[in-house]
Chain A
């Protein structure tokens, strides 16, 4: 009976999962970019505050998926002040946004806004996936930014290992213009397909799991939330995509640690703050070979690489994340923070 009810709800789409539920306040806004401060009932016992920087191709609610399964909630529970930078949903207006728009315009201002709002002289920057890459480039290009620690998770560095779409771009089999749509952006459908092709049979085992646990309300709710997120991509600004294809894929500049951005060379050695790169051992989106080189490219003396037995999303979502990965990351941040 439960199986029939949940199955029906799933098929007709009645069970749209409630995601991103942690209470928050928008404290800064520029164009479509918003900075959210997550509410807490008391003063944070740990300083500095954490700024979460999301990828450009997916929704930020993955970092605050559901109560009991949320990175944001976990960090607040650990005594941190948590902020999130949400890029919004790009359209034609944002199609001209370049990497510099994010690394030199939005991010430095958002960091200043966090400091001003939290009354803190500096922050811990925490980037996920492409957000990690933006964080790295932003700090390397603006080394005077008040960032005390930098933590990046599943951050692509060597694009040769990033899967078929990037390989084809690298070899010149396809051109960025063939992928960019009429709005000047890479459409969410293309992004979804490029991820799905990495694991063509993923849907099969996913549906089998759903069928087997269809009687279990909690499982179904979690499944809905994850499925919703993995199909909920946002357009990737075209100008940024062209640069990514040229600089990181064809020229592989990241691997040399020096990237030409904004008419200057951004040298990753300029990053001298404590640095943690978290690499997921079972990541099929940013494989270990694509993410691992990063920790050797920064100039920090305090560098750690944490290899965790998880997938790309399993780093932050699920029981394994709450048991292993989140405590390990929070522990690193705590060791590099002050107790109030």
Chain B
């Protein structure tokens, strides 16, 4: 089989054979970890400082900065989480009243219409969702 390989492929394979294991060893060395750790810390620090400087500049002109948008976005997310939680509580308490298995773990089943435990029948009209 090896003889069937074109020359360019054989060259790439032999280069990969040498470089591959060496690079895999390299990324597991202390030195590599040190470099990545320093780079990560520097990037984090630079990002924070840049954000702080930009925020001050934008605020001088009474304009919202990226951090303000981020805070707003976090608040919206938090609000959505609270709404979800309340919805779940309402659904779960409703299901717990009517379903013994669910009540065992205070579980609410959100089984949708059409998801009864019928088996699929040939030719049966079903709503499929190939993604």
Contact = CB atoms under 8 A, between A and B. Distances in A.
Nearest to A59: B131
A308 interface: no
A197 interface: yes
Interface in A183-207: 184, 197-201, 204-205
B128 A24 contact: yes
A164 B12 contact: no
Contacts of A173: 33-34, 36-37
A307 interface: no
B98 interface: no
A8 interface: no
A91 to B, nearest CB: 8
Nearest to B29: A164
A218 interface: no
A25 interface: yes
Contacts of A171: 33
Contact of B27 (A24, A95, A197): A197
A201 B128 CA distance: 41
Interface residues of A, number: 59
A131 B56 CA distance: 44
A72 B108 CA distance: 27
Contact of A113 (B9, B19, B109, B127): B109
A144 B115 CA distance: 24
B117 A116 contact: yes
A164 B128 CA distance: 42
A263 interface: no
Interface stretch (A29-37, A149-157, A245-253): A29-37
Contact of A178 (B19, B32, B40, B131): B40
Interface in B31-53: 32-34, 36-37, 40-41, 43-44
A205 B33 contact: no
Contacts of B107: 108-109, 112
Given A42-B120, A92-B73, A116-B117, 12 more contacts: A27-B112, A29-B110, A40-B120, A43-B119, A93-B84, A109-B109, A115-B101, A117-B116, A164-B27, A201-B23, A204-B12, A212-B9
25 contacts: A21-B130, A24-B129, A25-B129, A39-B128, A42-B122, A44-B119, A91-B77, A92-B73, A93-B77, A93-B84, A109-B110, A117-B111, A117-B117, A119-B117, A142-B105, A164-B27, A164-B32, A168-B36, A173-B36, A173-B37, A174-B37, A197-B27, A198-B27, A204-B15, A212-B9
